[in-house]
Amino acid sequence: MPLHNADMAAIFSEIADLLEIQGANPFRVRAYRNAARAVGEFGKSVSTMIEQNEDLKGIRGVGNDLAEKLREIAATGKCGLLEQLHHEMPAAITELLEIQGLGPKRVRAIHDALHVRTLEQLHRAAKEGKIRDLPGFGEKTEAHIIETIEAHLHKSRRFKLALAEQYAQPLIACLRRTPGVGEAVVAGSFRRRCSTVGDLDLLVTARDAAAVTERFVRYDEVAEVLSSGETRSSVVLRSGIQVDLRVVAPASFGAALVYLTGSKAHNIAMRRIAQQRGLKINEYGVFRGEKRIAGDTEASVYATIDLPWIPPELRENRGELRAAAAQRLPTLIQLADLSGDLHAHTKASDGHDDLLDMALAARERGLSYLAITDHSSRLAVTHGLDAKRLAQQIDEIDRINRTLQGIVLLKGIEVDILEDGHLDLPDAILKRLDVVVGAVHSHFNLPRERQTERVLRAMTHPSFSILAHPTGRLIGERDPYDIDLVRVIRKARACGCHLELDAHPDRLDLADIYCQMAKAEGVLISIDSDAHSRFDFDNLRRGVDEARRGWLEKHDVLNSRSLDQLRPLLGRTAVGKVASA
């Protein structure tokens, strides 16, 4: 059973935490953290690379020592250093770091003085009043620990972007109405368009910071004020989301926006570049000695290190700084680049609207084609279509297309990929369709090899066009099923079929890093709404967000094509039709 990159990353993260609690060299700790992140995000399976004797030093942050540890982990499933650390410190101790306000030094102090090893023991010790007497601790810290642990037990800590937007917009509007406020924007992972955000980072320019802070902490959705200072304050809203506010002068807006947008890794990399040039970047500007040389706009900050402005979605330190330096930043896909949508449902299965309503709503969005892809009958809960009902729908679409202006409905299906990789409809009916979207909706727990073979087999079907939501993840609810996406992507290239980025805010599947991999392999991505009602075409915007995070450009996206350009790309039967036409 090969280990996944995420498993290896988790081992390095735990080593970093334990080393930090032990007071190890902070740069050594950081090396493990960086490597954990790099391995976790690395496109290829590190286990496979090791099997094939590939050089691991291509992974940024992995040198001789960590490459050797990765090989050890792949071979044995364990890491000697971690085992040794577990002998020295209890394994559960790292969970104490999850409590806000407890860092490595304090965790160490609590452990050494009270032999606390778990969250429950920490809770008890705090309840018994044992924390307050430790040096460097006090009553407030003790009370905070109790409160945080109790809240920690029943709270999900990340919010889907779509939900976070609902909290952010009225708050931003409120701050903009505050006298003296210039700019008021949301930065952080929200601005980088991450699929989930841990908190909201607001940036405001104002001459009177105190007045803005005052307005902020009195916002009527504020449940708790965590901190409140001259230029920085934090609150928790009733919804449970934490909001951090930073107030700066207009001359620092650009520098502060870069700083607050992050990511942290991107900022660190930028500051290193600046440092090598004798410059210092902080949230107030770019400085040569005492003199500020830039900072009012983001572009001015990047310009000091000879880089063009970098779109926020790319700022993850995944190569964007090198690409910028080489003048090779991608021209990212935009919502307006989408010509059509290749995955939508009607009330024939589990949708809410009929064919015409869906067509008109799509046309209103500026789309020129819409594929109707209801479920197939295996998915009984959705009242999926069998061959007979699908044939009726095909006829009805033909009728509607004869009168419809400005948009074309494409005949399609979201056909179930059965456990053995067969498709849930006869070939004869699939051949009559413009687009066949295949999807896994059952048997999520197959072992990796069987799950992968199942999907690969489906993709070889001559009518197969697009693999829908390729990992099946439901954000915050269901993990992706275990599948080898590298093989799936290569199969798509070999078969001439495509992968979907399902734009439903609960899915956003493919995730950014796999979009980037597909792009590298020359596989096109279809950004689809998976609309179940005429209001769901808004989803496309979310899909574009994720696609931009995956470096996709217009030409990487299947449904940026016009209908004429699209038809030859949809399945090999369609190619045949075109060739014989």
Partner DNA sequence: GCCGTTTTCGGCCCGACTGTTTTCAGTCG
- The residues of the shown chain that bind DNA, judged by CB under 7 A, are 25, 27-28, 30-32, 34-35, 57, 60-67, 81, 97, 99-107, 132, 135-142, 144, 188, 199, 201, 227-233, 242, 244, 260, 264, 267-268, 271-272, 274-276, 280-284
Interatomic CA distance for residues 350 and 244, integer angstroms: 40
To the nearest whole angstrom, how small is the minimum distance from the Cβ of residue 439 to DNA?
Answer: 38
Instruction: Calculate the CA 451 to chain-centre distance.
Output: 23
Residue 35 CB, shortest distance to DNA, in Å, is 6
Specify the length of the chain in residues.
581
Min. distance of Cβ 305 from DNA in angstroms? 12
Least separation in angstroms between residue 96's CB and DNA is: 9
Contact criterion met (CB below 8 Å) for 579 and 568: no
* Structure token pair of residue 80: 């000697």
Per residue in 439-449, is it b (16+ CB within 10 Å) or e — as a string?
A: bbbeeeebeee
Per 3-state DSSP, the chain is made up of helix, strand and coil in percentages (nearest 5) of 50, 15, 35
Pick 105 or 328: Cβ nearer DNA: 105
Q: Does residue 393 contact residue 401 with C-beta atoms inside 8 Å? A: no
Q: How far apart are CA 235 and CA 174, in angstroms?
A: 15
| Two structure tokens written together for 361 | 């709503």
- Smallest gap, in angstroms, from Cβ of residue 108 to DNA? 8
What is the phi-psi region of residue 280: left when phi exceeds 0, alpha when psi lies from -120 to 50, beta otherwise?
Answer: beta
Q: Which is nearer to DNA, 138 or 426 (CB)?
A: 138
Q: How far is the CB of 103 from DNA (least distance, A)?
A: 2
| DSSP assignment letter at 396 | H
Amino acid at site 303 = A
DSSP secondary structure string, 478-536?
Answer: BPPP---HHHHHHHHHHHT-EEEEE--TTT-BS-HHHHHHHHHTT--EEEE--BSSTTG
Closest CB to DNA among 67 and 558?
A: 67
Contacts of 198 (CB under 8 A, 6+ apart): 157, 158, 159, 189, 242
Q: How far apart are the C-alpha atoms of 303 and 321, rounded to whole Å? A: 12
Closest separation between CB of residue 229 and DNA, Å? Answer: 2
Nearest to DNA of 219, 284 (CB atom): 284
Q: Between 32 and 481, name the residue whose CB sits nearer to DNA.
A: 32
The CA distance from 435 to 21, in Å, is 55
Looking at beta carbons only, is 62 or 413 nearer to DNA?
62
Coil, strand, or helix at residue 252? helix
CB of 501 to DNA, least distance (A): 28
With contact defined as beta carbons under 8 Å apart, do 414 and 377 qualify?
A: no
* Nearer to DNA (CB atom), residue 260 or residue 510: 260
- CB-CB neighbours of 241 under 10 Å: 22
Q: Which is nearer to DNA, 283 or 353 (CB)?
A: 283
Taking the least distance from each CB to DNA, the nearer of 23 and 447 is 23
Least CB distance to DNA at residue 270 (A):
8
Smallest separation (angstroms) from DNA to the CB of 24: 9
